[in-house]
Amino acid sequence: MESLEPVGAPDVESVERKLAEMWRAASSEEQPVVRASMHTLVVACDTAEDAREATAAVALLSENHPGRAIVLSGVRETARPAEPLAVFVSAHCHRGPGGAVVCSEQVTLEAARSALPLVPATILRLLVEDTPVFVWWRRAAFAADPLWEPLARMSDRFLVDTARHADPAGALRDLEALSGLARWRGSAGDLAWTRLERWREAVASFFDSPLTRRHLEGIARVEVIAGGPAGPTGSTVAAAYLVGWLASRLTWSRGSKGWTWRRRDRKAVRGVASYDAAAGRGDLVAVRIDAPGGEPPARFRAERVAAGADIVRLTVDVEGTCPLPSSLKLGELDDAALLCRELERTSGDALFEAALAEAAAAVAR
């Protein structure tokens, strides 16, 4: 069942009745339909086109994480007659184990700009009781948007993709500020951070060996090349997260200017963020780490083998030894796969929060 069925005025009881009718019509003794709700996922979109893209991701997500999705579609400038807030219901179904049909439901809201203040209360009444609430924020504005804080407050996890935002510094600043909301019971997450998981594994693998681990204390320069959007100095969200992660794990203190930190021995570490216009949004292209202070000096490189390739070549070059090359398959993830990982977490992530604090400070300088 993929067709949208109109409900009419935003009366929550009528929405629930329409959903119940939809399930009764779809189910039969020969082919029962299992109605599953493991969570409520609220998706906040800016345009109808973006809502269609989000709906496609929700449909894929429902195969592993069935639940109720509430999608705010594009905001209209004017209201249709008697419909400042229109509501539609639909379902995403797939065959589960044993051949049973398992369905997730979707409620789509289409609001006139004048009806925007009605949206949070309407969504709140549509949440499925006793399930975790995830908000997937896809709107262009962050903290300046009137829906930002109301939707964050009703969520257990508030998920964004800062790599979609035109202003990396503003996006990271607003996301970090969410944790300071008074009496907020939830936590923030970022698909841009989740997207870098394999890159973090690649960089960490450089130092698995005791022979290379000692070079962690001698790192003096970290260069990250990534796709945009980029700030005025070429800094990107992906680069900020990668260097911020290293800084937080190695307990570097922030320097007085630019992308600089100080190691525990008080020696300087310089970060370099380079923007590659040919790279995909939020994609890393290369990570280059220099540790000239080691005995002997060493260089570590993780670089895509070609533009757009999902294979990364890893090289460890310790002075006086033969370089040790290897490769890693990234396995690029789409939005549905990234969401799948985020929906498995219902509480905060200390590793992410520490990297976010460093990343926000880096792009602000």
Distance CA 314, CA 68 (A): 42
Domain that includes residue 43, residue range:
5-155
Residues 9 and 149 in one domain: yes
pTM: 0.90
Three-state SS across the chain?
A: CCCCEEEECCCHHHHHHHHHHHHHHHCCCCCCEEECCCCEEEEECCCHHHHHHHHHHHHHHCCCCCCEEEEECCCECCCECCECEEEEEEEEEEECHHHCEEEEEEEEEEEEHHHHHHHHHHHHHHCCCCCCEEEEECCCCCCCCCCHHHHHHCCCEEEECHHHCCCHHHHHHHHHHHCCCCCCCCEEEEHHHHCCHHHHHHHHHCCCCHHHHHHHHHCCEEEEEECCCECCCCCEHHHHHHHHHHHHHCCCEECCCCCEEECCCCCEEEEEEEECCCCCCCCEEEEEEEECCCCCCEEEEEEECCCCCCEEEEEEEECCCCCEEEEEECCCCCHHHHHHHHCCCCCCCHHHHHHHHHHHHHHHC
- The CATH code of the domain that includes 218 is 3.30.360
Residues 358 and 227 in one domain: yes
Q: Do the beta carbons of residue 66 and residue 103 sit within 8 Å? A: yes
Q: Where a domain ends, among 88, 121, 155?
A: 155
Q: Is residue 201 part of a domain?
A: yes
Q: Is residue 275 part of a domain?
A: yes
Q: Is residue 279 part of a domain?
A: yes
Residues 37 and 114 in one domain: yes
Q: Do the beta carbons of residue 345 and residue 238 sit within 8 Å? A: no
Instruction: Spell out the per-residue pLDDT of the chain, length 365, in tens.
Output: 444 554 544 577 788 888 877 777 766 656 667 777 789 999 999 999 999 999 999 999 988 888 999 999 977 665 555 578 888 888 888 776 666 677 789 999 988 888 888 899 999 999 998 999 999 999 999 999 999 999 999 999 999 999 989 999 999 999 999 988 888 989 999 999 999 999 999 999 999 988 899 999 999 999 999 998 998 778 899 999 999 999 999 999 998 877 999 999 999 999 999 999 889 888 999 999 999 977 789 999 999 999 889 999 999 998 878 777 899 999 888 999 999 999 988 888 999 999 999 999 988 87
Distance CA 299, CA 323 (A): 9
Residues 124 and 224 in one domain: no
Q: How far is CA 259 from the centre of its chain?
A: 24
Residues 83 and 202 in one domain: no
Q: Is residue 184 part of a domain?
A: no
Residues 242 and 354 in one domain: yes
Residues 134 and 203 in one domain: no
Q: Is residue 165 part of a domain?
A: no
Residues 107 and 241 in one domain: no
Q: How many domains does the chain have?
A: 2
Residues 215 and 352 in one domain: yes
Residue carrying the six token digits 């009528």: 14
Residues 351 and 232 in one domain: yes
Q: Where a domain ends, among 103, 126, 155?
A: 155
Residues 142 and 207 in one domain: no
Q: Where a domain ends, among 129, 155, 181?
A: 155
Q: Is residue 106 part of a domain?
A: yes
Residues 32 and 151 in one domain: yes
